[in-house]
Amino acid sequence: MSVPPQNSTVFIVDDDEAVRDSLRWLLEANGYRVRSYESAERFLSDYDPNLVGVLIVDVRMPGMSGLELQEHLIARRSSLPIVFITGHGDVPMAVSTMKKGAVDFLEKPFNEADLRQIIANMLEQAVSRAAEDATRRGHEALLARLTVREQQVLERIVAGRLNKQIADDLGISIKTVEAHRANIMEKLQVTTVADLMKVALHKPAA
């Protein structure tokens, strides 16, 4: 089995203490950092969206169910991969939940090898998502440095407008457009138009 990514955590949410303990023992024995919770409410009160990890959650629990917890995480724009564990083979529920972003289902009693493989795959996804999020936040921070006029010029560069067309659009000289382009390239820390487009097209989430 591959080595768990550094600074990653497996979160376990299940009202059954025996299940929590057996999962924790298995995962910690395989080198994972684990946090376990007896309820979805306790997990949400402790959850830090900046942590990289994967969530293992029971579908049916007293209070907030696993499916309701998923809805809360979606509302928080969480990208945390989720693995549902259930003793109830409910195919329509599984299909509906997967469409909302859940990544897998495990039926009790689950196979130990299957669980390890799923967790490894999901943590790989989580690390990839975290890297993408960090890149997006970095691009947004760079874009925030632009003045309103520079943003207007950038929008037109992205749209494929030539310097003369941008000058006509904004009622400024071509030399001024060129100066703005140079400032934009410097502020966005890029040297080519291709790299400029990569930064510009990393739009903030709507």
Q: Where are the domains of the chain?
A: 8-135, 145-200
CA atoms of 49 and 63, how far apart (whole Å): 22
> What architecture is the 145-200 domain classified under in CATH?
Orthogonal Bundle (1.10)
Residue pLDDT tens, the chain, 206 long: 455 555 678 999 999 899 899 899 988 988 889 999 999 999 999 988 778 889 999 888 888 888 888 888 888 878 788 888 877 666 666 666 666 555 777 777 777 888 888 888 888 888 887 788 788 888 888 999 999 999 999 999 999 999 999 999 999 999 999 999 999 999 999 998 888 988 888 754 43
CA distances to 142, 147, 179, 184 from 176, in Å:
21, 14, 5, 12
Q: What is the pTM of this model?
A: 0.65
Neighbour-count burial of 78, counting CB atoms closer than 10 A to its CB (0-12 exposed, 13-18 middle, 19+ buried): middle
Give, in words, the CATH class of 8-135. Answer: alpha beta
